Amino acid sequence: MSTDQDLRKQISVRGIAQVENVANIKKDFNRHLHFSLIKDRNVATPRDYFFALADTVRDHLVSRWIRTQQYYYEHDPKRVYYLSLEFYMGRTLSNTMLSLGIQATVDEALYQLGLNIEELEEIEEDAGLGNGGLGRLAACFLDSMATLGIPAYGYGLRYEYGIFKQLIRDGWQVEEPDDWLRFGNPWEKARPEYMLPVNFFGRVVKDENNQSKWIDTTVVFAMPYDTPIPGFRNNIVNSLRLWSAKAENHFHLKFFNDGDYVQAVMDRNLTENITRVLYPNDNIFSGKELRLKQQYFLVAATLQDIIRRFKSSKYGVREAVRIDFDTFPEKVAIQINDTHPSIGIAELMRLLIDVEGLSYDRAWKITVNTFGYTNHTLLPEALERWPVSLLGNMLPRHLEIIYEINQKFLDEVGKKYPKDFDRLRRMSIVEEDGEKRINMAHLAIVGSHVTNGVAALHSRLLVETTFKDFAEFFPGRFQNKTNGITPRRWLMLCNSPLADLITSKIGEAWISDLSKLVELKKFDHDQDFLNSLEEIKGDHKLRVADFIKEEYDITINPNSMYDVHVKRLHEYKRQLLNALHVITLYNRIKADPSAKIVPRTIMFGGKAAPGYHMAKQIIKLINSVATVVNNDPIVGDKLKVVFIENYRVSLAEKITPAADLSEQISTAGTEASGTGNMKFMLNGALTIGTMDGANVEMAEEMGLDNIFIFGMRVEDVNELHAKGYDPKDFISKNKELAQIVEQIDTGFFTPDQPDLLKDVAAALHTNDRFAVCADYESFIKKQDEVSQVYLDRPKWLKMCLHNIASSGKFSTDRTISDYATEIWGITPNEIRLQPPYETPHAEEEKK
């Protein structure tokens, strides 16, 4: 058995009663191989073994899943519905075994069958349901809601293809379809009995009572697929429901009989395109019709489902009973993850008024008290503003409702601020400047009882700048909910040796209360403990070195500093600034090959949106620099550059535990929070970063002597731009920077095509919106300091320990507890369920 298997077995066995035994697991595995997959060991492939294993593990979920839903039905607690266009789940198999506490048993069973569990885990496709922090946060939230016993449902879309599979060809990003469902998904269960109609287009007419009626619509059906979300060893299993678009069942037989086979299926294909592909979230709102269709499709199906559940839980099937919708907010909390589902505010109003017959005022009170809105961006170009022409054509009734919401809202603003017409213009949901548009962030704020940011700095800037008018008008409506990560996936699962070491020192309580990690600080003079930290990091670094050699044929020095910058490619995240540091190091080595330098392996990873020209140019620059650096014999193993292709959750689980240095270098005031910074911190990497997003709170938790902070603060950035920022002023004053810009401009790294990266050089010269040149000198000085500290191993290791020990605040368990008590009105950890093999009598017998 491998070392990894030994370690994972230890962490699973610790004090946990193993009810499922090895013999039963083997029996179930063979049963699924024979009866579910119709294979035997003579013809089965590794993928067959994976599916047999997944089905075996799912068997242990099903009874818990059913019992959880039965409990919710019988006790009718208040439920949370988390709406997000992305759920970046990653792989499910290992996380499920960990949550159920059966990892060691399954490991041993497969070993006895002659199979390697790690090889089978690698076969699982990452679920193509997200890309980046917004979707990964949603996935971590689902884990914590189940672990905290919060009755919750995630709602999203079942994309047939993920955003795309990223290939690097000749240094350029190339996109290929991410056909993640081609072999099927063992975790989902189709629910055709709950398929629901969703209407588009049509027109609005008035009936004899002057009530609006939405008629002549085009109908698309929403088919739900449910995925179980287990809590950590508490027998609670919540649900993620994903909708897939299906055409109406009728077939255009006339076209078919006439020989026009293509037209016969054309409409069906166009209809089902709604959930075909995940749109890239590139922080530039593009106003695509398909995106609006996806957003409305999600909320229309979800709200029908929520109302159905509300009625059935409270009133059973007695349709004759008069439904008291005034109690709706007492039983339903809907959280919208960014503005994408905000059209749901107009949709709930439509359902309550047009379908349920409520007055506007009653419907509005219910809607506001039901919805909460989480904002994820300060960038103005990322805020959704739908053209009235598009919205009115696709959703005419909703546009009518939005106009009415806006008029009543502006009437209230006018009463509070008489004759302040500029304020009315700024706060209007309907923007009149240029093409008339609907500001969806304004709709979300007006239609929710709470708006929250996702880090203290972000929330402050929302109140002081982006939504200042609304914060003044709605005192007390804005809150902060600093993001987090789930410690189960991002420590127990991806770094079990470190988890095991921590448990050996402070016990297991940290797993469900990450604040307990603070107890580790008393070991900062324990040399054995610090040596163990270094040994664990070294083992992960060796594995990553093997991975990079195998995947990219690049030999890296495992004793070098692993300097990691992995996240979506966007200019505000400043991968370009890091690339300038790489070139700086290269130029220094070339200028003086004998100079002592701390060896570094600098890793980049992340996808650029397909239409994002500058982000793709930056990827090409990084790879062009890597080609020069990695093949220069003078440089040797002092510096290596690796671009990790198709970065995703499963790769993050490999890279994060091996990182020494985490790059969190966005321009101050642009990153809402970040969660990658928290993952690296929890795994003992040190952060170099700006005072932006959650970096601010990380620095507060660990102290400035345990983090490498550089660059301008928010106020400095604002002052710089107010004075009229000219990057050439900074380039001319710094010889190293001037040399780098000239190298890029003249094609030093692309000698076969000297003009290839002129757009990057031009951006640095004239359009440096995110102040790369202004922060360059501070960044380089701080990187030099990082190198010096890295040489001082005792100091570095103590800083690593203090990073881990200060991570307690950044658990989604804490974040979700705050949401529950301060927004949703729910008490965490109230629900306790027995395991399915225990009965009340068995409990009494134990006592």
CA gap 685, 801 in Å, rounded: 9
Question: Taking a C-beta distance cutoff of 8 angstroms, is the pair 163, 128 a contact?
Answer: yes
C-beta of residue 149 within 8 angstroms of C-beta of residue 75: no
Helix (H) or strand (E) holding 396: helix 396-416
Please tell me the distance from the alpha carbon of residue 294 to that of residue 307, in angstroms, as a whole number. 20
What distances in angstroms separate CA 45 from CA 37, 38, 41, 54, 834, one per listed residue? Answer: 11, 12, 8, 14, 37
Report the half-sphere exposure of 41 (CA within 13 A, side-chain side). 6
The edge-to-edge listing of strands for the beta sheet with 430-431 is 385-387, 437-439, 430-431
Instruction: Please choose, from the candidates 718, 716, 669, the residue with its C-alpha nearest in 3D space to the C-alpha of residue 695.
Output: 669
**CB neighbourhood size of 766 (10 A):** 10
Any idea which residue has 């809590």 for tokens? 231
Q: Which of 742, 765, 745, 766 is nearest to 755 (CA)?
A: 745
Q: Are 498 and 535 in contact (CB under 8 A)?
A: no
Report the sign of the C-alpha dihedral through residues 208, 214, 218, 221, in that order. Answer: negative
What is the Cα 250 distance to its own chain's centre?
Answer: 38
Instruction: Give the residue numbers marked as catalytic.
Output: 376, 567-568, 573, 675, 679
Name the token pair of 483: 């993001």
Q: What are phi and psi of 213, to 5 degrees?
A: -130, 130
How far, in Å, CA of 269 to CA of 246, rounded?
A: 9
SS3 of residue 196 by DSSP: strand
Look up residue 626 and give its two tokens: 């890597």
| Contact predicate 405/446, CB 8 Å | yes
Around Cβ 764, how many Cβ atoms within 10 Å? 23
Cβ–Cβ < 8 Å for 383, 441: yes
DSSP of 73-131, one letter per residue?
HHH---EEEEE-S----B--HHHHHHHHT-HHHHHHHHHHTT--HHHHHHHSPPB-S--
